[in-house]
Amino acid sequence: MANYDFAVVGGGLVGSAIAYGLCSSGHRVAVLDEGDVAYRASRGNFGLVWVQSKGLGMPNYSDWSQSSSRLWLELAPELKALTGIDVQHRRPGGVHLCHTEQDWLARRETLNRLAGQTQGSFRFEMLDHQALAALVPAIGGDVFGASWTEMDGHANPLYLLRALHAGIAHRGGHYLQGSAVRWVHRDGSGFRLKRDSGDVLCGSVILAAGLGNRGLAEQVGLEAPLAPNRGEVLITERVAPLLELPTTYLRQTGEGSLQIGDSHEDVGMNDGTRTAVLADIASRALRAFPRLKDVRIVRSWGALRVMTPDGCPIYQASETHPGAYLACCHSGVTLAAVHAKRLAPWISGSACPEEIIPLTAERFHVRVPETA
Amino acid sequence: MRTIPLAIIGAGPAGMAAAATAARYGLKPVLFDEQPAPGGQIYRALESTPLRRPELLGEDYWHGKSLVQALRDGAIDYRPGHTVWQLNRDGEVGLLAGDRAELIRAERIVLATGAQERPFPIPGWTLPGVMGAGAAQVLLKTSGVAAQAPLVLAGSGPLLYLVAAQYSRAGAAVAAILETTPRENFRHAAGHIGGAVKGWRYLRKGLSLLKELKRAGIRHEHQVTELHAEGNGRLQHVRWRTAARPDVWQQCDATTLLLHHGVVPNVQMTRALGGEHDWSEAQLCWCPRRDSLGRSDIEGFFIAGDGGGIGGAKSAALQGELAALAALASLDLLDDVALHRETAPRHRALASELAIRPFLDALYRPGDRWRRPADEVIVCRCEEVSAGEVRRVAKLGCSGPNQMKSFTRCGMGPCQGRLCGLTVSEILAEETGQSIEQTGYYRLRPPFKPITLGQMASAADGTDYGQRQQQGSTAVVTEKASS
Amino acid sequence: MFAYLKQPDARETVTIEFEGRALAVREGDTVAAALLASGVDIFRSTPVSESPRGPWCMMGGCFDCLLEIDGVPNRQGCQITVSEGMTVIRQQGARRISP
Ligand SMILES: Cc1cc2nc3c(=O)[nH]c(=O)nc-3n(C[C@H](O)[C@H](O)[C@H](O)COP(=O)(O)OP(=O)(O)OC[C@H]3O[C@@H](n4cnc5c(N)ncnc54)[C@H](O)[C@@H]3O)c2cc1C
Ligand SMILES: Cc1cc2nc3c(=O)[nH]c(=O)nc-3n(C[C@H](O)[C@H](O)[C@H](O)COP(=O)(O)OP(=O)(O)OC[C@H]3O[C@@H](n4cnc5c(N)ncnc54)[C@H](O)[C@@H]3O)c2cc1C
Ligand code: FES
């Protein structure tokens, strides 16, 4: 029976980044993942490393995202050096397009509030059409303007996942596909993880199973109030370089394809696509970039976001089951760098990063009204 | 969205026969095909081929005449030049005609999308000048265009010999046929000789083709074990080794190399619909699940012809008729008694048509080395990913094609895995020691054929925007910015 | 290298322009058939490594026959029928987007 210091349940971006971080300190680490076909947001996302508009009402989340944007500048070259994989991280700044003056004013108001809440750590600029066109020459004439921050960027999320897996292997960790964890039991001072293919023993267990955390968290005295939220994405044929800056819903990948998304749909555990939604996505892209009219779509997909009630992450150590941890978030690409470089050290014994102290699931109980 | 009772996709023998059968019962089916003219692969360009001398393309080709003519008498709504780019389980059919994208709904759908040539990954198979033998046959049938000497054909199977024979009848020179059939196949095929005797007509045809090639004096190399296409920027020569002379590389000049290892079902649609597929160890391909009447495991969908497993043109037509009958019955246009009366003789005919198959499958089964090529060979032509790269990610713990695809881009190009899917599943299964069923296949998604953003944007114009909003789908326009 | 068979062919001649050169081809041909019959074997270079490619399947499945036809890039030569005066050029690498 395999025995590890740390077992990470879930081999998506969150679990893999944490495991990669844990491996760096010489621990015996295993990642237990489901099979080839699974709900895996990490394989269906948009690839933004994004700070704009994160954390309204929860300024710590903005600071945490900003920290990740900075640490990405270390993570990407480190992965390249270790694994040879270029995850195509770029930080040219990013824009959120505002189609009308009304959108633009509302956006400014929101970001001003966020700047205030973060005591100025979050900085942004509002661009009028001309300023936007200077940054994004391909932009259509009808777009009113945009918000811009220098901290935004993007990466290839698939190469990131591959590089993390390769990095885990390089650092002596183990990635076990086809290892769905059915049950987590306490076993002495550690845990026993039940799989169809036999048990795994570990000192600590980190639940990073995306939507799968819902069933696992309560087994170790934690809660994961998550809901799936579907996003549909289009990808086009490769085109010659056109867009340097990513926008919130259209970016050009390192290969030259245009990636266009995304929708927000409440459809349960269904990661299909709907033509009506894809048509909306295409229409909106054409409103912003009319010259893309004859670019061909080669594929579309749907993927499920791992959504918490307030959109902010949940990180928590179990009180009833010491050694058990929970990590759930949307924005696993953005946060990959903090997960590897700040969250993992906390799990292996360092002090808790200040930004995440309020990010436990306890926050969802505060607002529950007392019944008489 | 307009709703029709019965849509048939594909105007090859299966789809044409299905349409004729439905029409016979008074239902006017709509038959969509992306090609400009009917016939599918075997009867391609039957109405317009410049090769009017019947003996050139052979009697099997002209056999399709009555099916093609039936499309022209008004009882069938035949829509050439209509590409199906999207399908879902609710019967939504996305069509592209010229520049126009459209959505319709069909209560019943017969999928008759046929087969494609099996991928044939060898060193140099991406060079201009290297092509499928079926592709060369398309050129011959539709345009009277033939490869000029020096031309080499390589591989195995009836279609390879047929193309060589059609070429030589048309007066085009064939320099050599490099036959890849391994010796042990003859022994394995002998085990199915009973079926071959039942299918004696096919056996006789095959033998007479081989005799015809011999008479034409075409050089025929046997038991080729290795094959390279080589040249600077385009094909210039072909090199090979045979089991008889394993130490000697032989070489000949060639400007065209036609490769063929049989055909395999086109599973783009059945995969995208999420139907079950079974691995056929005999035919070395995935077959969508269907019952003896062509009913798939997806409500309202029927599968006919080579798209469900390779049986050839006559079986395809019979299966088209059966699928149409099953569809009619499910629409209550045919009662059980009539259904049985109609299907029983067709089932008998089908069994006799298919009797030869196990023999042919065993005889022309491509050897392992042709299906799981060496590390340096490109398997994904679109993204130029090599077999070695696929093996490397398997060692990272990637157990199936989907994670492999996202790690390497293999299968992400415009062909959507048509030219690498089988190879990849077979390589991964070998590397991980899993069965091919456990390994699985790519998860496919629409569009089946690329469509432009402009066409996509207009695709849903028929549907009411407010209605879409109610169904909770237009949240796309409200920026949640939660990436 | 391909060519039209030497045999009677009742079809009309259609003239298309390929890379600035006039080609006499036959009505009803696909662009891919017409080019092959005119001795063209390289259709495009790939966006990945710029390696040369020509048609592989002739049935719309492989996307190796991509051409720029009448100013529209990345079109499948094997799926489009020739018309009088059509202009065709090779598809070199990734397509461009015109303003
Ligand atoms: C359409 C879309 C667009 C997005 N865009 C962005 C973006 O631009 N930027 C960004 O930062 N984020 C983006 N995201 C979010 C990002 O993809 C997710 O935050 C991230 O992938 C979540 O990673 P995860 O590892 O928690 O979950 P997942 O990727 O879902 O992985 C969970 C893993 O756990 C495994 N698992 C589940 N149950 C078990 C079990 N019982 N035992 C073992 N393993 C189990 C699953 O197989 C899976 O591999 C987007 C998401 C979507 C859907
Ligand atoms: C290149 C090639 C050449 C062949 N030549 C011969 C031969 O000479 N003799 C022989 O016996 N067998 C030949 N075969 C084998 C062939 O599979 C069968 O003989 C027979 O044609 C199968 O009939 P079918 O109706 O199942 O499919 P097909 O005849 O293949 O017809 C399928 C039809 O579906 C259409 N279609 C597919 N996808 C879409 C879409 N997305 N939208 C709209 N339409 C679509 C196609 O255009 C096609 O017309 C050939 C196969 C191939 C691939
Ligand atoms: S030659 Fe294969 S798509 Fe045109």
For the cut 90, the answer to whether the pLDDT of residue A287 exceeds it is yes
Q: Check residue B208 and give its pLDDT.
A: 93
The per-residue pLDDT for range A71-81, each reduced to its tens digit, is 999 999 999 99
Average pLDDT rounded to a whole number, residues B74-101: 94
Any domain includes C27: yes
Q: For the segment A168-182, what is each residue's pLDDT rounded down to a tens digit?
A: 999 999 999 999 999
C99 at the A interface (CB within 8 A)?
Answer: yes
Contact C56 B170 (CB under 8 A): no
Residue B479 pLDDT exceeds 50: no
Q: What are phi and psi of B458, to 5 degrees?
A: -90, -10
pLDDT bin (cut points 50, 70, 90) of residue B98 is: confident
The reply to whether C7 falls in a domain is no
Tens-digit pLDDT profile for residues B315-328 = 999 999 999 999 99
In a domain? residue C1: no
Q: Which of residues 69-88 of C touch A (CB under 8 A)?
A: 72, 74
In a domain, C47, yes or no: yes
CB-nearest to B476 from A236, A267, A284 is A284
Q: Is the CB of A325 under 6 A from ligand 1?
A: no
Measured CA angle at A198 (ends A194, A201), to 5 deg: 60
Q: What is the pLDDT of residue B478?
A: 35
pLDDT band at B399 (very low <50, low <70, confident <90, very high): confident
Q: What is the mean pLDDT of residues B55-82?
A: 94
Mean pLDDT of B371-398: 96
| Residues A291-304: tens digit of each pLDDT | 999 999 999 999 99
Query: Does residue C78 lie within any of the structural domains?
Result: yes
pLDDT at B167: 92
pLDDT tens per residue, range B154-210: 999 999 999 999 999 988 899 999 999 999 999 999 999 999 899 898 999 999 999
- Strands C72-76, C87-92: pairing is unpaired
Q: Please give the Cα distance from B147 to B160 (Å, whole number).
A: 14
Supply the pLDDT for residue A367. Answer: 55
Taking residues B45-61, what's their average pLDDT? 92
- Give me the interface pTM, i.e. the ipTM: 0.97
Tell whether the model's pLDDT for residue A368 goes beyond 70: no
Residues whose CB falls within 8 Å of the CB of residue C21, separated by 6 or more in sequence, listed in order: none
Nearest by CB to B415, which of C3, C52, C61? C61
In 3-state terms, what secondary structure has residue A346? helix
The answer to whether B238 touches B252, Cβ cutoff 8 Å, is yes
pLDDT band at C7 (very low <50, low <70, confident <90, very high): confident
Asked whether residue C22 is assigned to any structural domain, the reply reads yes
Domains, chain A? 3-81+157-225+312-363 (3.50.50.60), 91-152+227-307 (3.30.9.10)
pLDDT at position A227, please?
A: 95
Number of structural domains in chain C = 1
Range of the domain at C72: 12-92
- Which residues in chain A touch residue C92, judged by CB atoms under 8 angstroms apart? none
pLDDT score for B305: 98
The pLDDT of residue B99: 85
B279, amino acid identity = W
* Residue C99 within a domain: no
pLDDT score of B460 more than 80: no
Tell me what pLDDT residue B472 has.
Answer: 40
The residues, any chain, with a CB within 8 Å of residue B168's CB and separated by 6 or more, are: B174, B212, B213, B216, B218
Q: pLDDT for C64-91, tens place per residue? A: 999 999 999 999 999 999 999 999 999 9
List the CATH number of the domain containing C81. 3.10.20.440
Mean pLDDT of chain B: 93
Locate the ligand 2 atom nearest the alpha carbon of residue B13 and give its number: 25
- pLDDT for A366 equals 64
- Please name the amino acid found at residue B249: W
Q: Pick from C95, C96, C98 the residue to mutate for testing the A interface (most A CBs within 10 Å).
A: C95
What is the average per-residue pLDDT within C31-44?
97
Bin A356: left if φ > 0, else alpha if -120 < ψ < 50, else beta. Answer: alpha
